[in-house]
Amino acid sequence: MDLDGRTVLVTGTNRGIGHAIASRLAQEPVRLLAGVRELDRFEPPEPGGGTRALEVKPVRIDLSSREAIDASVAGLGDELGRIDVLVNNAGEFTGGTLDETEIDAIYATVQANLAGLLHLTRLVLPGMLERKRGKIVNQSSIAAYAHFPGTAVYGATKAGVAAATDVLRRELADTGVTTLELITGGYDTDMLHKAADSLEQHSDPSNWDFQDPGKWADTIVEAIEKDKDKLEPAGRSKLARLAALGPDKLLDVASKRAFDR
């Protein structure tokens, strides 16, 4: 997709990979709608290569409930029908064994990562279909494929995202609207550090990937421009992805070595 003049909505831009994606997109001649949960806490993008964006506009996108999403989309006004690229990046992480996980955390994670993503996409899609162009970019995860202990809730939501993206790819064939699944691995973000803290009593996070999110953002923008439909993980996560494609025993052995209940 040629990004020149396109309107791009990215959710969860205040930190982590979302902030890196917004910063990278700000180097392109786009209208960037930077989605944040709270407008008064907006962190402007930091384009390392210089700003070329036609406009950077913070918008409230709160995925915490059905009502919050409806209110957020209503607040977009006419911008809703102008969105050419939707990057569903916002999300939550809940880690630890399932028997230790708070019930409220389960529902909040499912809402933010899966239900909220589907709800927002459902509201953005009609405008894209009417104009016969658009791209839905969904933040999946290596956890959707490599089912390691301690990630039951998070992995389940990301597996749902992966499935939904694949279904959408087929549903949208020949409409002019395409999809892109981001199989994201380990990046040096607050979320990954939170994951490390929550799993530290069961595993050694010193062996995890803590890659530069800016490099992943570069790859994401390139994938959008080349209209790819799937972006494979980099770094050590690539090995986990390969293991997930093999017999279950491979991950069983790896899990026993890396996880101590």
Distances (CA, A) of 124 to 8, 74, 121, 133, 170: 11, 11, 5, 12, 18
The architecture that CATH gives domain 7-258 is: 3-Layer(aba) Sandwich (3.40)
Q: Is 154 a catalytic residue?
A: yes
Residue bearing the bigger pLDDT, 11 or 190: 11
Measured between alpha carbons, how far is 205 from 210 in angstroms, rounded to an integer?
A: 10
pLDDT digits (tens, 9 = 90+) for 180-236: 999 999 998 988 888 888 888 888 777 788 899 999 999 999 999 999 999 999 998
156: helix, strand or coil: helix
Taking residue 1's Cβ as centre, other Cβ atoms within 10 Å add up to 16
pLDDT digits (tens, 9 = 90+) for 70-100: 999 999 999 999 999 999 999 999 999 999 9
53: helix, strand or coil: coil
Share of the chain above pLDDT 90, in %: 86
84: helix, strand or coil: strand
Look at residue 223 in the predicted model and tell me its pLDDT. Answer: 98
Residue 32 has pLDDT above 80, yes or no: yes
Q: Contact at 8 Å (CB) between 210 and 188? A: yes
Measured between alpha carbons, how far is 139 from 147 in angstroms, rounded to an integer?
A: 17
Look at residue 258 in the predicted model and tell me its pLDDT. Answer: 82
Q: Contact at 8 Å (CB) between 260 and 203? A: yes
Locate the domains of the chain by residue range: 7-258
**Could you tell me which of 25, 58, 23 has the C-alpha nearest to residue 40?**
58
Stretch 53-65: mean pLDDT = 98
Residues 6 or more apart in contact with residue 15 via CB below 8 angstroms: 43, 189, 190
